[in-house]
Amino acid sequence: MDSKNQSLLGQLETFFGPRYAWFVAVLALVLALLLALAAYAQGADSQGVRVVLGLLGLNPVIIVYILLLHPIMYRRWQRAMQSLHVLAPPADGAGRPEPVSHRSEWGSMLFGLIVGLVVARDVPGSEGWLRLYSETTSALMFALLSAAIYGSLARSRHLASHSRAGLELNVFDAHLLTPFAQWGQSLSLVFVGGICLSLLFQSSQSLRSTEGVIIYSSMVIVALTLFFMSVWTIHVALAKAQEKELMRVRRDLAAAREALRSEPNGAEYRPYLPVVVCGMYEQQVLDASTWPFNPAIVGRVLASAVAPLSVYGLKLAFGVGGGL
């Protein structure tokens, strides 16, 4: 793929190619060593090291988490778009990948970097090398998080533009668009995984606070919302296809009924066939799902919401403090 059509994270993966996994592994090792060296330079004892891990360990974990999962999520998005193009090939270039606005992407990363620096200043007990490590990893984590969020929004906008360009689907094609539901499911699961990782590094005191309950409850709701938002455009297109097909079959059904009424008494059974066929087809159209997912996918998404609640409950039940 042309680099102008790739996100910054996508270009990073392309640059390393098959060695990308090794790059992430080495980065994880370097971040862990730097954290250990920073704690050692500050003269932290064993109890202090645990506190440091609880306060500063989340940033490098989320950095590695984002870098590892981004290629997987992007490939799932590609499969989803391929399934859409097979059913509704783009005409006159509509719906083809547009050049990514790297200026906007850099802007989102800069915004995340600033937020990360602000958040790092509120971390208690970090001084000297630990403060430098905290500010650096926090800025990098929020920059990558902003880039990932921007990429998801850009892909949703691309899908919406494809729909506005004249996307027309068959009402019975919902099962063929399951890759979109799988992409939405993956998006939700990735978000839930990030929530669980964050919970592991929080203290039981912070989780008992009203702010902690509100924040993490809201994050679970957002994770579930992401799933349905990711397939909303396809749902709208399928709903329009269902409405259009219903109008057509009901017009044919009305004509068949009119022809039946005009037949003389004692006519053969032939005039009844169009009425029966149109009536059965109308019911099939009404029964057709306008959501591109099956109950199993919905069940997995809803079940995933239990994971953060389980981690949250275990942290409170055992009174585990900050750190792993």
27-31, 48-52, 166-170, 265-269 — most confident range: 27-31
179 lies in some domain: no
Q: In the numeric block, which tokens belong to residue 168?
A: 């027309």
**Average pLDDT in the chain:** 78
198 lies in some domain: no
> pTM for this structure?
0.76
Full domain range(s) for residue 17: 1-168
**Residue 264: what are its φ and ψ, rounded to 5°?**
-70, 155
Kindly tell me if the per-residue pLDDT of 266 is higher than 60: no
Over residues 154-180, the pLDDT tens digits come to 777 776 676 556 566 778 877 777 887
309 lies in some domain: no
Which residues make Cβ contacts (< 8 Å) with residue 305, sequence separation at least 6? 192, 220, 223, 224
189 lies in some domain: no
80 lies in some domain: yes
199 lies in some domain: no
Question: Domains in the chain: how many in total?
Answer: 1
- Please, are residues 181 and 231 in contact by the beta-carbon 8 Å criterion? yes
| Confidence bin at 140 (pLDDT 50/70/90) | very high
- Please, are residues 265 and 280 in contact by the beta-carbon 8 Å criterion? no
104 lies in some domain: yes
Q: What is the pLDDT of residue 125?
A: 59
Number of H helices, E strands in the chain: 13, 0
- What is the distance between the alpha carbons of residues 214 and 90, in angstroms, rounded to a whole number? 44
Kindly tell me if the per-residue pLDDT of 110 is higher than 90: yes
31 lies in some domain: yes
Higher pLDDT, 88 or 69: 69
Q: What is the pLDDT of residue 200?
A: 82
Q: In the numeric block, which tokens belong to residue 245?
A: 């097909």
Kindly tell me if the per-residue pLDDT of 94 is higher than 50: no
